[in-house]
Structure 1
Amino acid sequence: MSGVRTPVGPTDRGALRQTVTISFAGFNRAWAAWIGDRLERRGLRVVYMRWDSPAETPLVDLLGDLKRTEGRILVIVSEWYFQLGPRTHEEWNAALREVVAPDPSRFAAVSVTTASVPSATAMLAATDLTNVGADEAERRLLDRLDLPGDPLPEPPDGGRRGPRFPAAMPEVWGGVPRRNTRFTGREHLLNDAYHLLQGAEQGAGVVTLHGMSGVGKTQLAAEYVYRFGSEYDVVWWVNSEKRVTYRRRLAELAPQLGLQTGAEYGERLRAVRDSLRRGDPYSRWLLILDGADEPDQIWDLVPTGPGHVLITSRNPEWNEHNSKLLEVPVYDRDESVAFIRRRAPRLTEAEADQLADALEDLPLLLDQTAGWLNDSDLSVEDYIALLEGGIDQDVVKVSADFPLAFQTAWSILLNKLRDTVPESVDLLRLCTFFAPGFIPVRLLKEMPHDELPEQVAGLLNDPLLWNKAINQLRQYSVVRLESHETPADDPASSGEALYLHRMVHQIVHKDMPAEDRQEFMGVVRRALAAADPGRPTDTRLWDAYAEIVPHLKYADVLMSEDRAVQNMVLNCLRYMWLTGEYTTGVKLGERAMAAWKPLLGEAHPRIWELTHHYANLLRSAGEYRRTEAIERAAVEHLREQRGEEDLDHLRAVNGLGADLWGLGRYEEALELYERLVGTYSHLLGEQDSRTLSARNNLGFSLRLLGRYTEALDIDRRTLEARRQLLRGRHPWTLFSEVSYAIDLRLLGRYSEAESVQAKNVREHRIVMGPDNPQTLRAEHNLALCQYRSGDRATAGPLFSRVLERYERKLGETDPQTLAAAVSQSCFAREHGDIDQAREAAESIIARYEAMLTDGHPFIAGAHANHALILRSVGEREYAHALMEQAMADMTTVVGENHSYALGCAINASALRNLVGDTESAAELSRITITRATETLGRTHPLTLSARIAHAADLRGLRDRQQAEKVEEEALSDLAATLGPQHVHTISARSRNRPYWDFEPQAT
């Protein structure tokens, strides 16, 4: 804060003083801001002076410097003002008597505390501002400064809005940790963060506090909130270690903002982000994203708008995502000493300095060590000797981030905990079988408590003992409670959300005796299994799985022989597949296969269940050759051992068919699914979910073969059956609806397709969230519908958004990402940056060639698209040669009557015409009309394109009469089919030759 200094004015009551210097401790900055604002509104000039009290400077000198400032000096009295240094009350009393007593009229004071302060403070005659409202506090302030108390007029709408009264909470407030009354130092960091945020342009107010583990980033962010929160209408704290937690917590802001939304948090999340972006109903908002160590997971969800975002992270890569960085170092030595002496008053300054040196000034370690050392008879010298090897000769560095003495310091602290409340050590050890960070210990309390190990049973069954253990861990800052996730009346007794630092997690886990390790790990495994909702296909339960999944590794669940634990693993794998977490799911599946085969045996039923989920994940990641080998082996083994009507065998057959899609073997897949539908219908009936799944896959096989009318009929009947069997918003029903809309579009029924797809997209976003792969598939088809309908202005941005989110969610080589990249490249070729389109097309070809087998139709199609780009940039001969090769390859793979081959032929005829081979072009377009009419019908868009192309070729042959006849008939059918004002009709009427874009149907 700064102010303008001017001479002091008259002091008689009623006259305005020109300058008031406000002296305040940094902790009370909000009070200084509010008081200064009230004075400035009345015409005074205010100078802000944050009080500092370096130990090496005598108090008398510091107060003398304060006395030399301009104007009346207003001291904001609180215990913080007198603790800096730290100084004794006796020192303060002596200094106040020497400096203030001779000239009391220069000083005035307000008190914002009820705590004990030095007795000589009385000569400041502080007026009490505690436990009163804003109006009364302002009246008392003005009275103390001999200023008139006439009310000021309210500013008009849009006028100036000052800081909020510090005793009043912002209108929306949630999740902020309790204020750390031992917070020390960091003044320059707090001020730098404030000025970076305040000085940022709208939409760019993002600052990241980054630094190593244990350095106090979260405490710094919390202190920022309490110092500057009065300037905001909304303050919302978001735990951001996991994307799902971040999304859920941000969505919880919707009702607080008064937004009218449905119950699904995907819908609420979108409403919140839109509200913050617009600054309606609140423009002064502050979000704190705590523990955001993986920017790639959440950067796309960081709100923009007129408000501010403060992030804490160990990861400096936030600077790549529109954030300014502030590095949080370890304490300066004077900060360490001041903190230790506040935490452990029995230590002298010299002892505090010794301890800070031994602990390398790391705030977390200082906090935990000084806390129990203050209660101990152990001398600092003896403690440092222990750190240097007196207890544990095998002191090693836990990681590059951690100080050397950390392990030994923790051994000492654990001994202290064990001697006082041994159950607290048991609870701590249980926590280390969850992932570090936020520990859902409520799962321990909610699990069945029968057959628990004796030492854990007492802890979990006795609420008083549980409460005592948690409080002991809190006392020494071993764990932290999160206020928004625990009951407001008694957060300690619940302990639903404990935060365990990763440093603490590692050292406690390493310190654990082997006999305890197995017992505690077993308890956590059972707790996780008990938390499994058992229905991973139910989107309403995905939050529960998102909470379970991070802990599987730490509880070593794959080595458990408990059936409930193994079923939980299978359900988690299915959840990962449904939510697009393919990479994580594949890793878990690989580890599970390696662990379970020796544990259960190669032919155990659960191995086939695992194989199914593992193959689904691999296939979705584009690993078709691997999955085909896995599924074929399973099919053959199960057929030999159990017969062709065994349900596990049939499920493996279903998966094998999907592998054949990925490998481009469409006819083989069709034959397989035709048999499978018949077998399922015979065994389970027409309405069983497995029969419907096989029928869905039969429809997809028909679509891949270009048999769109048959696919539409199959998909329509599957959709209707799923609506009856499941529900309208079940994921499988929504999936079938997308398939139905795709069929409509591929048949040229663009308006119908767009109508169905638009509704479907809205429901997908509500049910499955905006970034689920199935939602993105729906949005991709909507963009294609819009594009085919001629709405390029809407389709173009949607293509870009879908591709960006696919790349972020699934990576650049996922089949669904590549399908979206193809669409974006084709759109850019015609309506965007041709150089960008060419670069994208070359990248797509390279990725397809690396991922797919030689001769795959997708590779041929990608070459066909690239040839059109080469045509557009003038490389005619190269484009012609590439298109001829693509047409030959495509015809070889799928046959000359497949829509893919027909599309390539339309493009090849155009390029033949372009290079002067007119007769060959006309013959090819003529043949293509015949084949397309037989396969797709006379008025299908592909057939109509061939007819318009043939008219152009006839004109090239100077057969104008026949050209006009073909063109007139084609234009008439175009107008009747698509409408006279459709872009394709208008383009054909203008004699723009049509081209075909290859569109991969991602499996």
Structure 2
Amino acid sequence: MNEPHGLSEKATVLLTTAAWLGPDPLPPGLPQASADTMEELAGQGMLVRHQDGGHSLPEEARRKVRATYGTRGRDEAILALGDFLGQPGSPSETARCLFMLPHLMYWTEQTRPEDDFPAGAMIVNRTVVLLLENDMGAKAVPLAQRFVRTCEAQIGRDAPATLTARSNLAAAHDQAGESLRGARLLEKVVEARIAALGADHPSVWDGYNNLSGSYLRAGEYERAQQIVERLIEHRTETLGPRDRATLMARNNLAVIWERAGRTAEAVALWQEIFPMFEAALGAGDSDTLAIGAALYQARQSLQEQHVSKEAAQRDRAEDLAEIEQRVAHLSADPEQISLPAVAALVELATALRDTGRLDEAEAAFTEAIDKGRGALGDGHPVVVSARYRLVHIYRLRGHTDVALAAARAALAEAERSLGRTHYETLITAANVICLVLEGQQMEEHEELLEDRLADIIEGLGFTHPLVRALAAYRASLTLRQPDWRR
């Protein structure tokens, strides 16, 4: 490609910047991306117009532009992504992060860590942190690996920022289902921090806290408990019994017990510390509300083990007031829709659905999806969860075709944003398989089983009701068709 003739300087700036970004519609706010400039490039066939008004630069054109102009626009591209993200903590930051993520991934694939500059590297790191905060570690792994390599190349392997970058990489592996791999990385980070800072430095104990979480998710409950008990003792001595970090360490012990099947002990501990959270942090504090929700859910679990289905439904109806109060607390500021607020709304909708109040449940799910899309993005785990839970209402009403269409749409977005093996993707895929079976689309059902069942079993575990049902049906197919290998 020869250098284009007759382009304005603004069009050249836009073209060279866009060449370093991905194939999805370009993010708004790129340098010189006025309507006139976009039309100038589109008119020459360099940008592709989309029906929704967006534009993209095809891959072949991007390669040719980079071959012609070299690295021009490379640094401006990532800075433009940072501008698109806006100020940290600003409304809809997570939704913007998911929108720009394919562009940032593409940018890192076309560049080298040794060429990174501080402002650009911090945009990569900020994205990693945002993804981790939203339980999207699988998507964060390649970016976290990139930031580690950048830190190692430019500030040293044992620099504090490099160790923090490795800690984030460990968390990404953990969330991606590689908890033991994450734990091994964290162990090395803790060892390096002890060597550099001493055994009593706060960052060392923060590392222990993260390490206990990795052991928990790996199912190594005793190792996780041993670390948390040490954390409680240390933080009680150094910070006091009512400090947030001390209280959260005690909460973490209850979480371990609950995950290990010691639900009654977990409930007892949460009942003990919940008033402490209210007194020390306030009833409307996000951590206080989270502890209240954990206590509520654990109580429900205990009740379901000892009471009839009818009694459990009555208890569920009585507890709706608690969830509604939490939703009201978290939704007090309509301009600042948070992840906990959307999650609480999904929980409320689920409780309404489980008590048979389907119209109210559908309205609550729809509200959660609409708010979640605006604040968190359509592919956020909580939004995907709301979408497949809403699908169940359609199934209860006998609207199988509507349910299947909605489930397919949710699965496509989950796979794009979360990846094939994320928990919410697997649940959505299982729902699609069940709905295809209900619709008697047998050939597609068998193909989906063959393609998805192994991932679903590994991700959800064989004790999950959906897994057991799908595996049983797959076994029956094999018995009837021993040579079936589609």
User: TM-score normalised to the size of structure 1?
Assistant: 0.33
Matched residue, 1:797: 392
Matched residue, 1:550: 102
| CA distance, structure 2, for counterparts of residue 845 and residue 423 of structure 1 | 51
Amino acid paired to 1:709: V
Q: CA deviation at 1:708?
A: 3.1
Q: CA deviation at 1:501?
A: 4.6
**Unaligned 5+ residue runs, structure 1?**
1-406, 446-459, 461-465, 486-496, 826-839, 853-857, 871-1003
| CA distance, structure 2, for counterparts of residue 648 and residue 615 of structure 1 | 15
SS of the aligned residue for 1:415 comes to coil
Q: Is the 8 A contact 2:326 2:344 kept in 1?
A: no
| CA distance, structure 1, for counterparts of residue 288 and residue 18 of structure 2 | 40
Q: Is the 8 A contact 1:812 1:818 kept in 2?
A: yes
Q: Is the 8 A contact 2:137 2:172 kept in 1?
A: yes
Matched residue, 1:570: 125
Q: Whose Rg is larger?
A: 1
Of 707, 713, 718 in structure 1, the residue corresponding to residue 271 of structure 2 is: 713
Matched residue, 1:742: 297
Residue 15 of structure 2 corresponds to residue 428 of structure 1: yes
1:213-239 CA-partner distances (Å, limit 9, x unpaired): xxxxxxxxxxxxxxxxxxxxxxxxxxx
| CA distance, structure 2, for counterparts of residue 569 and residue 671 of structure 1 | 34
Q: CA deviation at 1:790?
A: 8.9
Matched residue, 1:415: 5
**Unaligned 5+ residue runs, structure 2?**
304-314, 362-388, 396-402, 434-447, 473-486
Matched residue, 2:163: 608
Q: CA deviation at 1:527?
A: 4.0
Q: How many residues align?
A: 401
Residue 210 of structure 2 corresponds to residue 677 of structure 1: no
Amino acid paired to 2:69: M
Matched residue, 2:88: 535
Q: Is the 8 A contact 1:443 1:527 kept in 2?
A: yes
Task: Report 1:8-157 matches (<5 A).
Answer: none
Matched residue, 2:75: 522
Identify the structure with the greater helix proportion. Answer: 2
Amino acid paired to 1:797: H
Q: CA deviation at 1:573?
A: 1.0
Amino acid paired to 2:93: L
| CA distance, structure 2, for counterparts of residue 666 and residue 850 of structure 1 | 20
Q: CA deviation at 1:672?
A: 1.6
Q: Is the 8 A contact 2:186 2:207 kept in 1?
A: yes
Task: Report 1:954-965 matches (<5 A).
Answer: none
Matched residue, 1:724: 282
Instruction: Name the Cα RMSD after superposition.
Output: 5.4
Q: CA deviation at 1:525?
A: 3.4
Matched residue, 2:63: 506
Q: Is the 8 A contact 2:136 2:175 kept in 1?
A: no
Matched residue, 1:249: none
Q: Is the 8 A contact 2:85 2:93 kept in 1?
A: no
Q: CA deviation at 1:499?
A: 5.0
Q: CA deviation at 1:649?
A: 1.9
Q: Is the 8 A contact 1:577 1:585 kept in 2?
A: yes
Residue 322 of structure 2 corresponds to residue 756 of structure 1: yes
Q: CA deviation at 1:590?
A: 2.9
| CA distance, structure 2, for counterparts of residue 471 and residue 824 of structure 1 | 41
| CA distance, structure 2, for counterparts of residue 645 and residue 577 of structure 1 | 26
1:187-233 CA-partner distances (Å, limit 9, x unpaired): xxxxxxxxxxxxxxxxxxxxxxxxxxxxxxxxxxxxxxxxxxxxxxx
593-602 or 778-787: bigger deviation? 778-787
Q: CA deviation at 1:478?
A: 4.0
| CA distance, structure 2, for counterparts of residue 712 and residue 824 of structure 1 | 37
Matched residue, 1:342: none
Identify the structure with the greater strand proportion. Answer: 1
Matched residue, 1:663: 218
Amino acid paired to 1:663: A
Amino acid paired to 2:68: D
| CA distance, structure 2, for counterparts of residue 481 and residue 722 of structure 1 | 55
Q: Is the 8 A contact 2:421 2:455 kept in 1?
A: yes
Of 619, 627, 637 in structure 1, the residue corresponding to residue 182 of structure 2 is: 627
Task: Report 1:199-278 matches (<5 A).
Answer: none
Q: CA deviation at 1:714?
A: 5.5
Relative to 1, partners in 2 of residues 1:750 and 1:652: Cα closer, same or farther, differing over 3 Å?
Answer: same
Task: Report 1:712-861 matches (<5 A).
Answer: 712-713=270-271, 716-717=274-275, 720=278, 724=282, 735-748=290-303, 750-751=316-317, 753-757=319-323, 760=326, 779=346, 783=350, 797=392, 809=414, 810=418, 813-815=421-423, 850=458
Q: Is the 8 A contact 1:783 1:798 kept in 2?
A: no
Q: Is the 8 A contact 1:696 1:736 kept in 2?
A: yes
Q: Percent identity?
A: 17
1:319-369 CA-partner distances (Å, limit 9, x unpaired): xxxxxxxxxxxxxxxxxxxxxxxxxxxxxxxxxxxxxxxxxxxxxxxxxxx
| CA distance, structure 1, for counterparts of residue 118 and residue 281 of structure 2 | 33
Q: CA deviation at 1:668?
A: 2.8
Relative to 1, partners in 2 of residues 1:786 and 1:678: Cα closer, same or farther, differing over 3 Å?
Answer: farther
SS of the aligned residue for 1:743 comes to helix
Q: CA deviation at 1:710?
A: 2.4
Q: CA deviation at 1:469?
A: 6.3
Q: CA deviation at 1:806?
A: 8.1
Q: CA deviation at 1:570?
A: 1.9
1:253-295 CA-partner distances (Å, limit 9, x unpaired): xxxxxxxxxxxxxxxxxxxxxxxxxxxxxxxxxxxxxxxxxxx
Of 101, 112, 136 in structure 2, the residue corresponding to residue 581 of structure 1 is: 136
Q: CA deviation at 1:738?
A: 3.0
Relative to 1, partners in 2 of residues 1:781 and 1:431: Cα closer, same or farther, differing over 3 Å?
Answer: same
SS of the aligned residue for 1:608 comes to helix
Q: CA deviation at 1:502?
A: 4.4
Relative to 1, partners in 2 of residues 1:687 and 1:583: Cα closer, same or farther, differing over 3 Å?
Answer: same
Matched residue, 1:255: none
